[in-house]
Amino acid sequence: MKCTTCFHQCEIPEGGRGFCRARICENGKIRPENYGCLTSLALDPIEKKPLYDFHPGSLILSAGSYGCNLRCPFCQNYEISQENLHGRSLYVSPEQLVEEAKKYVPAGNIGIAFTYNEPMIGWEYIRDTAKLAKENGLQVVVVTNGTASQEALEEILPYVDAFNIDLKGFTDPVYQSYAGSLEQVKAFIERAARDAH
C-alpha cells in the first residue's frame, strides 16, 4: 500500500512501516501507529515554539509523539524523532489531551501545540484533537518541517491557529541531504500562509 502523507510516498508492505517509522500498513490500510502515543508533554512558553507576536507571554501545552520523515543531522529531538518508541510512549486520547490542556487555562495556557517530533506524520491525531480543542475554546499550534502532503494539510487547516514551519534551507541539495523535498515545503508554506487564521 502507498502512504500519501508526505513526499516519500512509501510503498509499505503488510506489517511494515514507512520511512518515518510511525506509519504502518495493517490489514491492507495505512495508518499512524503513533496515533495518540505521546513521548513528551510539557507546559511551555509560547515563545519557545517560537512564534512571534502570537499571544505573547502565554503558555501552551506542548505534545510530541515519535517519528519523522526527515534525517537532519542537527536534530535537537533525535531521541524521539528518529526512533520507533511505540512501546515506550503513553497513549493519550484526543479527549484526554484536551481535558489536560483545559486544566492549565487558569495558569495561562491558551491551548495545545503539536511539536517535538514531526507531528504531521500523525496528522489524523492533530485533526481529531484540534477539532475538539477548538470546540473548547483552545488555540492550536503546529510546529512542523512542512513536508506533509497538501491533502494532509487540508485535513487540519480549518482547526489550526498558528504554524511554525521550519524551512531548513533554500536549495534542493540541502533538502536532498536531509532526505527532504524543498518543493513540498514551499507548497506547504504557501498554502498554510494563505488560509491560516
Higher-pLDDT residue of 83, 128: 128
Number of domains in the chain: 1
Provide CB contacts within 8 A for 94, sequence distance 6+. 36, 125, 128, 129, 131, 132
Residue 87 has pLDDT above 80, yes or no: no
Looking at the chain, the whole-number percentage of residues with pLDDT higher than 70 is 96
DSSP for 109-145, please give it.
EEEEEE-SS-GGGGHHHHHHHHHHHHHTT-EEEEEE-
Contact 44, 62 (CB under 8 A): yes
Asked, for residue 29, whether it belongs to a domain, the answer is: no
Q: Give 29-86 as a DSSP string.
A: EEEETTTTEESEEEEEEGGGTT-SSSSTT-EEEEEE-S--S---TT-TTHHHHSS--G
pLDDT value of residue 119: 97
Question: What's the pLDDT at 74?
Answer: 86
User: Quick one: pLDDT at residue 85?
Assistant: 61
Q: In this predicted model, what pLDDT tens digit does every residue of 141-182 receive, in sequence order?
A: 999 999 999 999 999 999 999 999 999 989 999 998 998 889
What is the tens place of the pLDDT at every residue in 33-84?
Answer: 999 999 999 999 999 999 988 999 999 999 999 999 999 888 888 777 776 6
Q: Which of 149, 156, 106 is nearest to 134 (CA)?
A: 156
Predicted model pTM: 0.93
pLDDT score recorded for residue 15? 95
4 in a structural domain = no
Residue 96 maps to a domain: yes
Query: Is the pLDDT at 86 greater than 70, yes or no?
Result: no
Taking residues 12-28, report their average pLDDT: 95
pLDDT, position 84: 64
What's the pLDDT band for 192 if we cut at 50, 70, 90? very high
Give the structural domain span for 73.
Answer: 34-195
pLDDT surpassing 90 at residue 126 = yes
pLDDT for residue 195 is more than 90: no
Burial 59-69 (b: 16+ CB within 10 A, else e): bbbbbbbbbbb
- Cα-Cα-Cα-Cα torsion 99, 118, 116, 126, nearest 10 degrees, comes to -10
Q: Is residue 149 part of a domain?
A: yes
Per the domain annotation, does 163 fall within a domain?
yes
The residue-averaged pLDDT of 78-99 equals 83
The secondary structure of residue 175, as a DSSP letter, is: H
Q: Let me know if residue 59 belongs to a domain.
A: yes
Cell matching residue 32: 499512524
Please say whether the beta carbons of 144 and 117 come within 8 A: no
Task: Give the CATH number for residue 176.
Answer: 3.20.20.70
Domain assignment present for 154 = yes
Q: Is residue 94 part of a domain?
A: yes
Close Cβ partners of 51 (under 8 Å, ≥ 6 residues apart): 141, 162, 164
